[in-house]
Amino acid sequence: MGRLVFELLLALLITGLSRFSTIKYKYPTPAHDANQCSGYRLTSISPTDHGLNGSLVLAGNSCNVYGNDISNLALEVTYETDDILHVKIYDVEERQFQVPDYVLPRKRFQGAKNPAYEFSYTDNTFGFVVKRKNNGEVLFNSTGVQMVFEDQFVKFGSQVHDIMNVYGTRDIGSPLRENIYGVHPFYLDLRRSGRSHGVFLRNSHGMDVFLSSTSNTSEIEYRALGGVIDLYFILGGEDGSPKTVIEQYTDIIGKPHMPNYWALGWHQCRWGYKTIEMVKEVVENYKKAEIPLEVMWTDIDYMDQYRDFTFHPINFPLSKVQSFLAELHSQNQKHVLIVDPAIYNGDDYAPYKEGADLDVFIKNRDGSIYYGRVWPGYTAFPDWFAPNTQSWWTRQFQRFLKDVPVDGIWIDMNEPASFCFGSCGTGHPPGEPPGDSPGDPVFGPGVPDYNLLNPPYSIRNGSPYLSSKTVATNATHWNNYTEYQTHNLYGHMEGIATYKTLITINPKTRPFILSRSTFPGSGAYVGHWSGDNWASWPYLYYSIPGILNFQMYGIPYVGADVCGFNESTDEELCNRWHSLGAFYPFARNHNAHNTIAQEPYVWKSVTEATKKALHVRYTLLPYYYTLFAVAHEKGTPVWRALMFEFTDDYETWNIDKQFMIGPAVLVTPVLEAGHVDVEGYFPKGIWYDWYTHDPIYGANWTKVDAPLGHIPVHIRGGSIILTQRPAYTTTESREQPFELIVALDETGHASGEAYLDDGVSLEPVESLRISFRICDKWQVVMTSVGSYKPNAKLEKLIIIGVGLDLVIDDVHVDMDKNAIITF
């Protein structure tokens, strides 16, 4: 939902999935040039069981460029694994805020046996270099960027004599090239050697990351508003593949959660379904149009005066909501409701009264409750650090879901968002309706906590004030943590709290949670959508690199609002967007209340395009589910940039208008108005048209037909894909016969795998893993391991090859049995 734009503190200057390019931004003008500061001197160094410990002291006079220099620092170098190096530099007294381990669990590795990296350092003016051991490739060289370590300003970076191809760093959100919604200080660097590595900074403060390059030198520089230097270097195994780098990165931050099978179906939502009758009508219209609908969502419209855990007594009376939910469930459909973190501050509102009594809300510096302003009026904000908050949050949901056992929770506005500057409700009686929103705050010298509100260094924030449209940075949390330090953790911690709550309520069932704000590690608990986008052609395109970035961040269950959230779409755009959105990992149509209706049944052409694309998606559901199982186990992305699969093909390195679904399916959408064909790159091999099985031979740029309502999908030669005949819901689809697509490569070989379980259990007691391969005697060998027994059988074999297009529809093989199928 999120009807306004709410900025986070992280200002990172690279957006989207694109190759590194020179970006020239004017740095803020400092009192002194940070690059002229004296740096630090290494005074001692000693080996440990798995690395080095050292001491650093300020090498000269204090610079105090954007704060107060910290004189004494500690250095810890840990060879975590053969491919993961950890370098941490922190203040000896540890007064600087560090992300607590219970917020982002710090995995303890066993130590390296034969590290693939070399760590070296300079001592007089301290800097360090990380190299690949086998070829001497410099991955990070901090000696080229002067280190500054102050209480409110930390600067460091790397300069290497090579061209860095940097991917990730942040999601493309709205507006463009401004910080919004989430923080992921991670990048993947792909070099001309064909090897990649990742760099992760564990720091929750606001920061800038600057990139620049010359013909043969690249530089990356971090400028954070505080904290420590806590870096992980991830080398990605023997081949340095991007996939392995991401798998090793998720070893550090946590593996993605496993979604419910039903979560892979089609979702519908809108801010503006004002009554339960309108919601019911949408479900009925989907059915009339024969468009699959798995999950119906309800935005804040359902609430009584926009208060969490309530229903509007007239527009959404509880009895009618319960009846609607029962009807949905009888049709094998699901329901998701939104919950915002902002709690209305009326004494007659039980969640607030109980929360105030238990001391669970963020405070002002004087110890009083901090009151912002959100949809219900003046609101308090849960402090996820406070010891009573988890149990309080759980009790609210226990009471709420007892009355309405919905299937998932949508947590929004969790940056957290606030419509006014500062604690604007302070001094007002509980429950008093806000008047006009207060004007610009007075954030000048003499104001308490001036340096927290206006730090000496100004990051490239979306607003002149860090506290604009959010909780003020001088608000306090438990343990005297400040919002200045912890702001970027808020949505992440709400996701963890909500996950624990739903596990408490249904211990054996996988929670479904969608969150707007995320941080490294959030993928273990929540899915994500890219927030408030626009109904325009550029945003159709931006959705692709946005989703690809989040695959690298360990959040594979992600999508964008299909047809756009803000402004009104049109028929052609919505047609193309439904064709593309049908393949999003999280696929949902969603728009704002002040726009035209954009459900796919509104236009006949969009109806047909949606049905066609969803037919492909639902056919591929076993393949999608398998990819999520692999992501859950290993961290491997579900959607993949072409360079993930074809790293040795330089042509793929700059492609962000196509994508792979796993290793076997290539999608080439139309992203511009008025086009009836689209040019795409087909890497080396044979690619078979999903619909006609016609082959395309790589490696070439090829123009393919794409009339309105058609999205080109190709199967990679050498792949075997388990599919299932689609039905209206995923529950019904799981009862349909399985089919196997065998797409032969140039040598007549192919292989694939599949994973199956009950689709909902948190820890499935029974599961089934199946491998498929072509035998030299024109046979498919199927090997199954596990005890799960699907109701459906494998009944059809589709073999695609050069000059070969066979359908064998009398197979009748149990999925949990080993088998050899001759064709």
User: Sign of torsion, CA 349 352 357 358?
Assistant: positive
366 catalytic residue (yes or no)? no
Torsion of Cα atoms, 161 then 165 then 170 then 172, to 10°: 140
Exposure string of 92-124, with b = 16+ CB inside 10 Å and e = fewer, is eeeebbbbbeebbebeebeebeebbbebebeee
Q: What are phi and psi of 502, to 5 degrees?
A: -70, -30
**What tokens does 11 get?**
């200002």
Q: How far apart are CA 476 and CA 473, in angstroms?
A: 8
8 A C-beta contact, residue 349 and residue 342: no
Query: How many of the other CB atoms lie within 10 Å of CB of 323?
Result: 13
Burial of 522 (0-12, 13-18, 19+ CB in 10 A): buried
Q: How far apart are CA 205 and CA 473, in angstroms?
A: 11
Q: How far apart are CA 468 and CA 483, in angstroms?
A: 13
Q: DSSP for 35-63? A: GGS--EEEEEEEEETTEEEEEEEE-SS--
Q: How far apart are CA 451 and CA 367, in angstroms?
A: 19
**Which amino acid is present at 72?**
N
Of 743, 506, 731, the residue nearest 618 (C-alpha): 731
The one catalytic residue in 301, 532, 599, 739 is 532
Of 374, 336, 321, the residue nearest 352 (C-alpha): 374
Question: Distance from CA of residue 202 to its chain's centroid?
Answer: 17
Q: Under DSSP, is residue 383 helix (H, G, I), strand (E, B) or coil?
A: coil
Of 137, 122, 257, 268, the residue nearest 190 (C-alpha): 137
Of 754, 662, 684, the residue nearest 243 (C-alpha): 662
Q: How far apart are CA 144 and CA 158, in angstroms?
A: 6
Of 267, 277, 157, the residue nearest 207 (C-alpha): 157
Of 326, 347, 344, the residue nearest 335 (C-alpha): 326
Of 16, 170, 180, the residue nearest 538 (C-alpha): 16
8 A C-beta contact, residue 253 and residue 521: yes
Q: How far apart are CA 627 and CA 632, in angstroms?
A: 9
The one-character DSSP state at 280 is: H
Question: Distance from CA of residue 340 to its chain's centroid?
Answer: 19
8 A C-beta contact, residue 197 and residue 183: no
**What tokens does 62 get?**
């204090």
- Which alpha helices (H) appear in 111-166, and where do they start and end? none
**What tokens does 822 get?**
């001759």
Q: How far apart are CA 423 and CA 437, in angstroms?
A: 12
Q: How far apart are CA 689 and CA 494, in angstroms?
A: 44
415 catalytic residue (yes or no)? yes
Q: How far apart are CA 243 and CA 234, in angstroms?
A: 12
8 A C-beta contact, residue 396 and residue 369: no
Q: How far apart are CA 501 and CA 275, in angstroms?
A: 28
The one catalytic residue in 150, 221, 412, 656 is 412
354 catalytic residue (yes or no)? no
The one catalytic residue in 415, 483, 561, 608 is 415
- Residue 477's alpha-carbon distances to 469, 516, 610, in angstroms, are 18, 21, 47
Sorted by sequence, the CB contacts under 8 Å of residue 768 that are 6+ apart come out as: 754, 755, 756, 757, 784, 785, 786, 787, 788, 789, 790, 815, 816
8 A C-beta contact, residue 24 and residue 473: no
**Which amino acid is present at 86?**
H
8 A C-beta contact, residue 528 and residue 522: yes
Active-site residue list: 412, 415, 532
